[in-house]
Amino acid sequence: MSASLTDFTAALPKAELHVHIEGTLEPELMFALAKRNQIDIPFKSVDEVRTAYRFTQLQDFLDIYYEGAKVLQREEDFRDLAMAYFDRAAADTVRHAEIFFDPQTHTARGIPFDVVMKGFLSAMEEAERTHGLTTKLILCFLRHLDEDDAFKTLRMSAPWQDRIVGVGLDSSEMGHPPRKFAKVFAAATEMGFKRVAHAGEEGPPEYVREALDILKVHRLDHGNRALEDADLTARLAREAMTLTVCPLSNLKLCVVQTREDHPLPLMLAQGLRATINSDDPAYFGGYINDNYAALAGRLDRDDFAAIARNSFLGSFLTDAEVSAHLKVLDAYLER
Ligand code: HPA
Ligand code: ZN
C-alpha cells in the first residue's frame, strides 16, 4: 500500500459511527482499573490479555469483552475509559463520534445507570472542550437478554433522554433476531430516540430485513450479509441506508477471511452508503485509521473521500452541522 494514501486517510476529517465504548478498554487500563477497584481479572499480564484475543466467532469475543467490563465500577472509571477513546479518536482526525454503550453490562452488576451516564457525559464535555470533538451516545440493548430486560433499561434511560440520541441492538446475533425487540424499539421511537441495530454481521439477510421493516432503523451496523440478497442490496442503495462497516472486526471475528475478501469495495460499487469504523478497537487490533488503512490496497482516494463523506451524512447531526463538516472535508480534498 502506498504511504501517501494512508497519510491521506489518516488526516481525512471523518466521523465514527460504530464503536462500543466498552470495546475501547485497552489491557493497560483494564489492569489499572482492576487494581484501583480491587477486582480480580482472569489474566496475569497485559501480554496474556492480548494473546487471549484470538477469536473464531463473535461469541468468543463477547465472553472476554463482558469479563473485561467488570473492572468498570465508578463514575471516574467510565470517564477515564471514554476519555482515552476520545483522545485516540481525535488523534485519528475524528471530528464527530457516536458511541454505543451497553448499560445492561453494568446495571446487571449493580452499577447504577446514573454512574455510567455521569462518567460518560463528563468525558464527552471534556472531548468537546479539549479536542473540538463532538459526540453522541447510543444506548444498546443486549439481544441475548429478553425484551423485558430491555424495557427496564429503556425506563432507566428516561431521566437522561435528552443526553442519549438513540437506541441500538448488539451482542450475540444468531438466534436473537431483530423481531424479538419489536415492542421496545416501538416504545423507544415514541420517546423520540433514533434507531440503529447490528444486523447481518453473522446473521442472515432476513435479520437485515427485520431491522429495516420491524425496528425501522436509521442505520445498519455491519450489514455485510445483506450482499447475499440482490433485492435487499438494491433496496439499501435506493434508500441510501448507511452501513457502519468494521473491517478489522470482520477479520478478527472471521466474518471475512482476508483483506482481499473484504466486501467494502463491492458495497461501494453497488451504490451502498458504506462507512469505516473500529467497532471494538482494543480487541480487534486497531482504531479507525487502522481500519481505513486495512483497505488501502483495495480503495483509492475518491473511495475514501466518499466513505468520509458518508460518515457525516449517516450521522445524527443536524443538516447544518453535516454541511459544516462537509465543507471542512471539501477544503481538505482541495489541498
Ligand atoms: N457485534 C455484536 N455485539 C457487539 C460487538 C460486535 O461486534 N461488539 C460489542 N458488542
Ligand atoms: Zn459492533
145 burial level (CB within 10 Å; 0-12, 13-18, 19+):
middle
Residue 92's pLDDT band, with cuts at 50, 70 and 90, is very high
Q: Which residue has a Cα nearest atom 7 of ligand 1?
A: 279
d(CA 6, CA 310): 19
CATH number at residue 11: 3.20.20.140
d(CA 113, CA 7): 40
Does the global pTM surpass 0.75? yes
Choice among 44-48, 155-159, 258-262, 284-288 with the minimum mean pLDDT = 44-48
Helix (H) or strand (E) holding 100: strand 94-101
d(CA 156, CA 107): 10
Radius of gyration of the chain from Cα atoms? Answer: 19
The string of pLDDT tens digits covering residues 130-186 is: 999 999 999 999 999 999 999 999 999 999 999 999 999 999 999 999 999 999 999
| Ligand 1 cavity residues, CB under 6 Å | 20, 23, 58, 170-171, 198, 201, 249, 279-280
The string of pLDDT tens digits covering residues 119-145 is: 999 999 999 999 999 999 999 999 999
Using alpha carbons, select from 152, 207, 196, 145 the residue that is nearest to residue 171. Answer: 145
Q: What pLDDT shows up at residue 5?
A: 97
The string of pLDDT tens digits covering residues 65-86 is: 999 999 999 999 999 999 999 9
Q: What pLDDT shows up at residue 3?
A: 67
d(CA 181, CA 146): 8
Using alpha carbons, select from 220, 219, 226, 215 the residue that is nearest to residue 150. Answer: 215
Q: What pLDDT shows up at residue 2?
A: 56
Domain count, the chain: 1
Q: How far is the CA of 133 from the centre of ligand 1 (A)?
A: 24
The string of pLDDT tens digits covering residues 190-223 is: 999 999 999 999 999 999 999 999 999 999 999 9
Range(s) of the domain holding residue 142: 3-334
Q: What is the dihedral of CA 56, 58, 60, 64, to 10 degrees?
A: 140
Among 181, 278, 280, the mutation site with the greatest number of ligand 1 atoms within 8 A of its Cβ is 280
